[in-house]
Amino acid sequence: MYTHMIDTVRSGKQREMTSIMKRRQFVKAGLAGAAAASTATITAPVIAQDVRKWKLVTAWPKNLPGPGVAAQMLADRITALSGGRIEVKLYAAGELVPGPGVFDAVSEGTAELYHAVPAYWGSKSKGILLFGSQPFGLRADEQFGWLAHGGGQTLYDEMYGRFGIKPFLCGNSGPQWAGWFRDEIKSVEDLKGMKYRTTGLASEMATKLGMAAESMSGPAMFQAMQTGALDAGEFIGPWSDSALGFYQVAKNYYWPGVGEPSSAEECGVNSKVFEELPEDLKQAVTFACDSLYNPVWTEYTTKHAQALQALVNDHGVQVRQLPDDVMQAMGAAAVEVIDELRQDDDELVKRITESFVAYRDLVGGYMSYADNGQMNARAKLLSY
């Protein structure tokens, strides 16, 4: 009986210990669940807050062949290279701000970044214009070479820093065309009084030739030529120009576009926003811009060549070369434009100009033997 009582007591204690252990496990499980829930509650907003939502405003209609396509590529590449930590949403010209207002929008913080061309910002400083294109100036590869290896980027940063913007080149249209003319050009006299759309330093060169130069968007240029408000105009090249339908209002398509031997596209980022980024995201934005330069340029080259064939074969466009006296007059006017920049009151504009001229002379001397020699030799070989 005594043994039975001991067994009974032991059994009761075991049941009590089992009950206690179960309660402890329940409490631990509850605490673990609460901790997990608390972590989830805290962590989710922190991750969401770490994603930066950037507005990219552009000077172009959405997906316009050439610059509109390149702008979307820029938005997508920054988003991808940042691992989604920067989400870039593109706003075409007029959706958030007018195309000509994107520089100010980023400078003032209305948007985080823009996609446009330096040729649009001459009213800010004449020195800015050299970073986009120059009459009888740099080719697309030379333009990038000046900034990357000839000291141009430091000057680019200094100039745009005045306006609270960190600038990057992110593409190039390659050689632009002299443009679309209602009437055939036979001499330099035909240019006098002509109403002509162009931008940047090319407009100053045109003015010196007696032309009435006007800056406007591509769609506005089409309307102005359609109504007769313009006699002629240049926009970019065959790919973009054909998409805007210029061949419908003029059939004479002139080359070479010495006013813009290339036209660099740029990304401007609000300086404060850029400086607040951690180092890896600064590198992501920088690499997104740099890595797009060559793909954008080579796409332009390929699509321009294809579009020119269609313009001639399908739309009856007459491809014409500028007369020699016109080229000579443009060259003389270009020298005046650069001399005026050298004498500008702004010391920074002078330094930018001297840097550009030095680099152009350096690579220009080499290209006479290298690329020019190869291109001229290839042109003589009509076919294999």
Pairwise CA distance, residues 381 & 379, whole Å: 5
91 falls within a domain: yes
Number of domains observed in the structure of the chain: 1
86 falls within a domain: yes
**pLDDT (tens digit, 9 = 90+) per residue, 339-374?**
999 999 999 999 999 999 999 999 999 999 999 999
247 falls within a domain: no
**pLDDT (tens digit, 9 = 90+) per residue, 251-269?**
999 999 999 999 999 999 9
Q: What are phi and psi of 137, to 5 degrees?
A: -100, -135
Mean pLDDT, residues 145-168 taken together:
98
Residue appearing with tokens 């800010």: 124
In sequence order, the 6+-apart residues with CB closer than 8 A to the CB of 202 are 119, 133, 135, 213, 234, 259, 260
Q: For position 381, what pLDDT does the model report?
A: 85
Residue stretches of the annotated binding site: 176, 197, 234-235, 260
Query: What range defines the domain where residue 164 resides?
Result: 51-174+263-300
Pairwise CA distance, residues 252 & 178, whole Å: 10
Residue stretches of the annotated binding site for Na(+): 235
Is 197 a residue whose pLDDT tops 90? yes
With beta carbons less than 8 A apart as the criterion, state whether 348 and 127 touch: yes
210 falls within a domain: no
Pairwise CA distance, residues 40 & 202, whole Å: 59
CATH code for position 136: 3.40.190.170
Under the banding of pLDDT at 50, 70 and 90, the label for residue 49 is low
- Window from 33-37, 128-132, 312-316 with minimum mean pLDDT: 33-37
90 falls within a domain: yes
With beta carbons less than 8 A apart as the criterion, state whether 170 and 296 touch: yes
Residue appearing with tokens 């605490």: 31
337 falls within a domain: no
Residue stretches of the annotated binding site for substrate: 176, 197, 234, 260
**pLDDT (tens digit, 9 = 90+) per residue, 211-246?**
999 999 999 999 999 999 999 999 999 999 999 999
Helices within the chain (DSSP H only): 2-50, 67-81, 102-107, 126-129, 140-149, 152-161, 200-208, 218-227, 238-244, 271-275, 279-315, 324-342, 347-367, 371-380
Under the banding of pLDDT at 50, 70 and 90, the label for residue 383 is confident
Pairwise CA distance, residues 313 & 22, whole Å: 87
Pairwise CA distance, residues 71 & 90, whole Å: 8
**pLDDT (tens digit, 9 = 90+) per residue, 91-118?**
999 999 999 999 999 999 999 999 999 9
315 falls within a domain: no
Question: How many percent of the chain have pLDDT more than 90?
Answer: 85
